[in-house]
A and B are shown apart, each in its own frame.
Chain A
Amino acid sequence: ETGVTQSPTHLIKTRGQQVTLRCSSQSGHNTVSWYQQALGQGPQFIFQYYREEENGRGNFPPRFSGLQFPNYSSELNVNALELDDSALYLCASSSPRQGATNTEAFFGQGTRLTVV
């Protein structure tokens, strides 16, 4: 087990609703990244948080937002849900080392979101 936990594991929402997904990072990890994985695709980067600040964002609209808390856990919020938001949402935690170029990321088991 990676020590990264996500909740809930499964969720069904209606188009137009809002959703909050949660992630507890591995102990000692200060960086959390969120990814969206649609069926048959690789994970796509949404954004990353480092010490409670957004530290990079992928090509996702502003209705995708997030937070990181002092204990480094994180939330992903999606407003105005669309059918295409149906996907597996993955959280990955890491602790980048200064000057390092090869930092392993540990994934949670994901939240499977279905929008109907």
Chain B
Amino acid sequence: RKEVEQDPGPFNVPEGATVAFNCTYSNSASQSFFWYRQDCRKEPKLLMSVYSSGNEDGRFTAQLNRASQYISLLIRDSKLSDSATYLCVVNRGNTPLVFGKGTRLSVIA
């Protein structure tokens, strides 16, 4: 079983839609959680960290459920520019980042 699992998609949604991605992790010792965004043929870039209390950054909301070991990302009012692959990432302290395979999002006009 992969340490971080995501639905690869693709998710094809119209502009303005709300879309949610989930991710599960297997190692209960995981301490830090992130969502990275990766555009086609580019490097991953940090979208947001995920905190136990949940956190929001504009149209993006991240949630963490430690008991169920899953992380979610909600995108409201989708824009064409949100089209990308979203990578769920975990680590344990200062250990290397462990990435999921990513979920592809296409926002359609």
Contact = CB atoms under 8 A, between A and B. Distances in A.
B49 interface: yes
B58 interface: no
B31 A33 contact: no
Contacts of A92: 97
A33 B32 contact: no
Secondary structure at the A interface, as helix, strand, loop or mixed, is loop
Contacts, number: 55
Interface stretch (B14-22, B37-45, B62-70, B75-83): B37-45
B46 interface: yes
A90 B8 CA distance: 21
Secondary structure at the B interface, as helix, strand, loop or mixed, is loop
A45 B92 CA distance: 14
Contacts of A112: 41
B31 A101 contact: yes
Interface of A: 2, 33, 35, 40-45, 48, 56, 58, 88, 90, 92, 96, 100-105, 107-110, 112
